[in-house]
Structure 1
């Protein structure tokens, strides 16, 4: 039976219990809070992680799970919540810091961070491609139809989207230890370019053909928008709402950019004002910035 017409009341009262997401969220919250008891992260950080799990659970059990089978724009809203909201909050919870502080998890976390796979996966190119390509593949390939027709595919997709968002924001925020620190200005430029990429997908869904899966979804209900309108609203959610939700992330990057520049300026001032120490009485013309640890890392000079 199709759900009743979507209204404010039905959105607040419609639920579909999903044991898979419930167990995963509970395991994540309990494990995180148990490992964070040492006080390495503050209450706000812990609250961010719990809120990320709550957003994940709500998306998989609330009205989005009920009406996502018959409305494309609801599925688009679920994508934004899982990748941009839950992913950002989980990364802001600094789970790697919590893991490294735990005696039993420290070695595994450090070993994983030093691996070639982790360095590649967390590089700007890999994380950008992961975030940009995932929605194109999800909405413009048979993958989307599979999530509508199969509960197993939908549960797996939800978990994957949360993982994609968390990995992306973990690499961009760099609030946690990362295999390689990168200047926040680079992340800000890349994030701005990614916003344009999201807009292209929104235009394609808005002006392009109506997806077959969206037409089949409309046939399951006798109320609501037409397939064309449904897909247009979903395109707007992916484009506009995605950018609005991403504003805190951009603001954080801008603040960290200024902090990185201030730290580099202080290091440069110290290097310029410190008296030169000749080596064995022989003066050297070696530029000062080659010996500055902050700048040498930035320019990859040793």
Structure 2
């Protein structure tokens, strides 16, 4: 996955330069950072012990869902694809990003529910089954970053226009997400029995914690990461709200007095 992503991004970058289009270096560095973090999560300590330790599993899951897609979205691979990639593939990517399911998934109304549902699985016995399964590990490696990127990518789409009222509602709901995402972590931290039913202590080095302590560490990490990860989303929503407000203000300023009077009469007639 790392090799395919690096080759594709580099190929599109070369294509953009051949077409005379500039591309910011900080976007390329952000995408490289996403690949590097993905590699650390796969081959580092959390990738080695994620099947035996809850905190390693939760840390890997949360960072694959929040951090890796965030750095990848800042790298703007879809915009680079439109700039330097094959036209047919760029058109297909644009059609997918503008489809209704992706637009609904990328709103601040739906994305908090997706994150909450994902992390609520950690409170069930299904968490232990996924954590100890080789198939589950592969599914998390592939699907979780894709899901996280699907939630973040619509926020940076330049062709997506929303009203200031909708963006304001998204911004307010993002604050609700601050509380919702923390619920699974809080439950893991304050519960004094093992929720997933895996009460046998994992065999390993002497520093391995007990199952209950392992659960509490997982709760601490999830609680912290879920709160911190919402900050970039809030910043993105605030910037989009400012741009939308300026765009609508320019549209109103461009109206003549007669057009403004007609618009006011139409608004009043609708209210009646």
Same fold by TM-score greater than 0.5: yes
Q: Tell whether the 8 Å contact from 2:31 to 2:74 is kept in structure 1 after alignment.
A: yes
Displacement of 1:190: 2.3
When residues 47 and 108 of structure 1 are mapped into structure 2, their CA distance, relative to the original with a 3 A threshold, is same
Matched, 1:29 2:6: yes
Unaligned runs of 5+ in 2: 268-272
**Counterpart selection for 1:165 from 148, 151, 163:** 148
- Taking the aligned partners of 1:92 and 1:27, their CA distance within structure 2 comes to 19
Q: Tell whether the 8 Å contact from 1:146 to 1:154 is kept in structure 2 after alignment.
A: no
Displacement of 1:192: 1.5
Query: How do 1:90-109 residues align onto structure 2 when only pairs under 5 Å count?
Result: 90-101=72-83, 102=85, 103-109=87-93
Q: Work out the number of aligned pairs and report it.
A: 256
TM-score (norm 2): 0.81
Displacement of 1:157: 1.1
Q: Tell whether the 8 Å contact from 1:72 to 1:214 is kept in structure 2 after alignment.
A: no
Aligned to 1:14: none
**Counterpart selection for 1:191 from 161, 165, 174:** 174
Indicate the RMSD between aligned Cα atoms, in angstroms.
2.8
When residues 54 and 214 of structure 1 are mapped into structure 2, their CA distance, relative to the original with a 3 A threshold, is farther
Aligned to 1:49: 31
When residues 250 and 143 of structure 1 are mapped into structure 2, their CA distance, relative to the original with a 3 A threshold, is same
Unaligned runs of 5+ in 1: 1-23, 278-282, 291-302
Matched, 1:70 2:52: yes
**Counterpart selection for 1:82 from 59, 64, 75:** 64
Aligned to 1:145: 128
When residues 140 and 47 of structure 1 are mapped into structure 2, their CA distance, relative to the original with a 3 A threshold, is same
TM-score (norm 1): 0.74
SS of the aligned residue for 1:286 comes to helix
Matched, 1:259 2:259: no
CA deviation string 1:50-80 (max 9, x = no partner): 2112211211111111122332112221122
Displacement of 1:220: 1.9
Displacement of 1:239: 1.0
Displacement of 1:143: 3.5
